[in-house]
Amino acid sequence: MSKRFTLSGFWLSGPTYKVGLMLSLCGEDFAYHSVNLRAGEHKSPAFLAKNRFGQVPALEDAKSGMALCQSAAILEYLAAELGKFGGEGACGAAQAREWMFWDFDRLAAPIYRLRAQRAGFRTFTQPIVEMYFAEAGAALKVLEEALGKTLWLCGSQPSIADIDVYGVVAYAPQAGFDIAAYPAISAWTKRMEALPGFIGINDLPKATQA
């Protein structure tokens, strides 16, 4: 039986992981297409037809015919379609979106770039590295303060905000940060990892799976 959702991505990609985590937490079995970034598959006409920006991830929904890119947009779409993790009412949904915008603006960029630098995929001068460490540290401080007051980012239940932000925090150790130094964040990550259907950053398929 064919699966409703097909996720196209790369297993080392944080944004791809966010979508895979969301699908898994929702109990949705999904097909996975591993995109060969080194060969430029993400810039091929076939891939650009389902992702105009030529980036991973991309999600195809066989039920609606929708093809989406950008992980935050995909998370919102899945929350609406599956009725899970969308936040508590209109206010909760707006708060979740607020956190996802913040994540993209303040947290994801420095952590993902530092991770890439430490893995040898990117090269930065020392002043730039120090700038990214300062930016990521400031963002983690904001997150620590917020999670010191609440179990989840938006209300009493986990939402796409938690999934989105976790999909960055999970890579923080690879960027040079010790999450144990942030007690509230550390406790929150443990709550995330205890959710039914949780998958870790190394659990995405490394090859295409129908």
The whole-number pLDDT of residue 171 equals 98
The whole-number pLDDT of residue 87 equals 92
State the number of CA atoms in the 13 A half-sphere of 118 facing the CB. Answer: 17
The whole-number pLDDT of residue 4 equals 98
The whole-number pLDDT of residue 112 equals 98
Give the span between the Cα atoms of 125 and 138, in whole angstroms: 20
Q: Note the pLDDT tens digit of each residue in 117-131.
A: 999 999 999 999 999
Residues of the chain with pLDDT under 70: none
Q: Where are the domains of the chain?
A: 5-82, 89-193
> Do residues 112 and 83 make contact, with C-beta atoms less than 8 angstroms apart?
no
The whole-number pLDDT of residue 62 equals 97
Domain spanning 5-82: which CATH class is it, in words?
alpha beta
Burial class (CB in 10 A: 0-12, 13-18, 19+), 181: exposed
SS3 for 178?
A: coil
CATH architecture of 89-193: Up-down Bundle (1.20)
The whole-number pLDDT of residue 19 equals 99
Pick the closest to residue 19 from 66, 73, 62 (CA basis): 73
> Do residues 150 and 76 make contact, with C-beta atoms less than 8 angstroms apart?
no
